[in-house]
A and B are shown apart, each in its own frame.
Chain A
Amino acid sequence: MNVSLLSPERAAALGEAPLVSFRHVGKQFRQRFGRSVTALEDVSFDVRRGEIFGIIGRSGAGKSTLIRLVNGLEKPTAGHVIVDGVDVGAQGNAGLTALRRRVGMVFQGFNLLASATVEDNVALPLRLTGVRLSEARRRAREVLELVGLADKARNYPSRLSGGQKQRTGIARALVQQPDLLLSDEATSALDPETTAGILALLKDINDTLGLTILLITHEMDVIRRVADRVAVLEAGRIVEIGSVWQVFSAPRHATTRALLTPSDGAAPPLPRLEAGQALFAITQPAAAPPLELAALAAALGPGGRLLAGPVQAGRNATRLLLAAADADVPATLARLRAVAPTAEVLADAG
């Protein structure tokens, strides 16, 4: 399936404009007796096209409210939420419907229809736009293939495991070929192993379809595994924002440090990156041939460091974190890939 993010003309016209832009957004909920509760205050950030942007915070920090502002399930009481040039808060019903058809959403509780089969759940967004049932089902099965659930198309959700339910939810969110995927604690109801599978799927969708993903979570591990950039939300305000590497290696705010403190079984915080260094990761499947250390060292060049590893990365893979002093990141990456095809750049401090 080929899903393109934008037509080339449109991408050129929009330039490097962010896909989602929060501009001094505030949200107050009115309560009885004239009292009100502030859920968000002066929140500003951008989500760039093609990235996975994570928002982390404790429960009650305002994460759910924030993500619901993006597709207009909530309206801001101050500021503007701009999605692909559209001011969400200013939209009427028709505008919101049009916007929501370009923004997929997955939920912690899956929110699948118990009365419909997996394929009919996935076909539902298409049915809402008037696509014929047979055509909608055909396209639903294509997307189910993509999320690895083709064999469950005719099952009812009650027969699925949690991970399979969430795959169905993701397929449903993808079937309209959205520009943006919102993930509302998508893995919080799943066990660690299933979580790893769902996160790998999100990462894969981001890589292969170029789909921008905005996710909220209270789990640092989710951010660490998939996000490119992260914002830390505390009591309705963003207290820290940056690349995952920056924020994790040098947390400035107490909340971030608290969230980073490893609980039992969680991976340790990432080591600090020095100026001029670039960070690379190699994900080594269990079945892959062993890596040759000398070749790795040569690829990294002088000043190459092994920062951490092997770190468990999912059920059947381990991860190595390497730093290189070399400023020419693409060249180093190319040399690394010759040794280990899974090599990727995690951060570039230079």
Chain B
Amino acid sequence: MPGSLLALFWIALKETAVMIGVSSGLALLIGLPIGLLLVATVPGGVLPARWLNWPLGALVNAIRSTPFIILLVALIPLTRLIAGTSIGLWAAVVPLTIAAAPFFARLAEVALREVQPGLIEAAKAMGAKRWQIFWFVLLPEALPSLVAGFTITLVSMINASAMAGAVGAGGLGDLAMRFGYQRFDDRVMAEVVITLVAIVTLVQWLGDAAARHFDRR
């Protein structure tokens, strides 16, 4: 690989890392509370509220069923409002976050719902308040599944970030598109793909190790 391309490769890797790092962190912060709400507000849940549960579920489904490339373009006005620009790295962080948060919210919902109902009853019987049930019971008990779900979210975000080039955000996917696909440079294409496989493998391996570490069942 020539030196200039190597420099581009390095820049692209850093761009992908920043995009994924920032938007996955935001997706966690937004998705986890949504997942909690989805579990808690069902009839018979800790905080039953059908008026909230139904629209929230519908919103999550709507975002999840929209293809990312469409979301990326459709969200441009919102992106401009939040990031101040509709092109570049930070312009990709907004749609990536918005796409990943509902995805993780569903995985978190499943993880939290798997917690034994008896534990919630025991916590209530101890005099736990609602937020304490979340903090002391649901979150620690669901942690291994939450970590596994977050790993899946990360991998699918790495995948989605390849489309971020459409708004000029750069990244490895953009490099593969411009040099590998548009310039028919199979070598760059192969190198990017191998790098992505390596990153995904590493993320999955770390995620599995973390989930195992927290699993005491």
Contact = CB atoms under 8 A, between A and B. Distances in A.
A323 interface: no
B159 interface: no
B141 interface: yes
Interface of B: 116, 118-119, 121-129, 132, 136-137, 140-141, 143, 214, 216-217
5 closest residue pairs by CB, A with B: A100-B127, A111-B122, A101-B127, A111-B118, A105-B125
A52 B136 CA distance: 32
Given A111-B116, A127-B136, A128-B136, A100 B122 contact: no
A98 B140 contact: no
B137 A113 contact: yes
A125 to B, nearest CB: 4
A231 B157 CA distance: 61
Nearest to A70: B125
Contacts of B122: 105, 107, 111
Contact of A124 (B124, B126, B216): B126
Main secondary structure of the interface of A (DSSP, over half): mixed
A40 to B, nearest CB: 19
Contact of B126 (A100, A114, A158): A100
Interface in A112-127: 113-116, 124-125, 127
A113 B217 contact: no
Given A116-B140, A124-B136, A127-B136, A111 B126 contact: no
A127 B129 CA distance: 12
A121 to B, nearest CB: 10
B216 A156 contact: yes
Contacts of A124: 123, 126, 136
Interface in A80-97: 93, 96-97
20 contacts: A73-B124, A73-B125, A93-B129, A97-B127, A100-B124, A100-B127, A103-B125, A105-B125, A109-B118, A111-B122, A113-B119, A124-B123, A124-B126, A124-B136, A125-B127, A128-B123, A128-B127, A128-B136, A156-B216, A158-B216
A195 interface: no
Nearest to B214: A115
Given A125-B126, A158-B216, A115 B121 contact: no
Main secondary structure of the interface of B (DSSP, over half): helix
B101 to A, nearest CB: 25
A124 B122 CA distance: 11
A71 interface: yes
B214 to A, nearest CB: 7
B119 A128 contact: no
Contacts of B127: 96-101, 125, 128-129
Task: Among A71, A105, A114, A176, find the residue whose CB has the most chain B CB atoms closer than 10 A.
Answer: A114
B124 A115 contact: no
B126 A128 contact: yes
A97 B127 CA distance: 4
B129 A115 contact: no
Nearest to A159: B216
A137 to B, nearest CB: 15
A45 B126 CA distance: 24
Interface string A170-189: 00100010000010000000
B71 to A, nearest CB: 35
Task: Among A73, A99, A128, A157, find the residue whose CB has the most chain B CB atoms closer than 10 A.
Answer: A128
Given A111-B119, A115-B214, A116-B140, 18 more contacts: A97-B129, A99-B127, A100-B125, A100-B126, A101-B126, A107-B121, A109-B116, A111-B116, A111-B122, A113-B140, A113-B141, A114-B216, A115-B216, A116-B216, A128-B126, A128-B128, A158-B216, A172-B126
Contacts of B216: 114-116, 156-158
Contacts of A101: 126-127
B118 to A, nearest CB: 4
A37 to B, nearest CB: 16
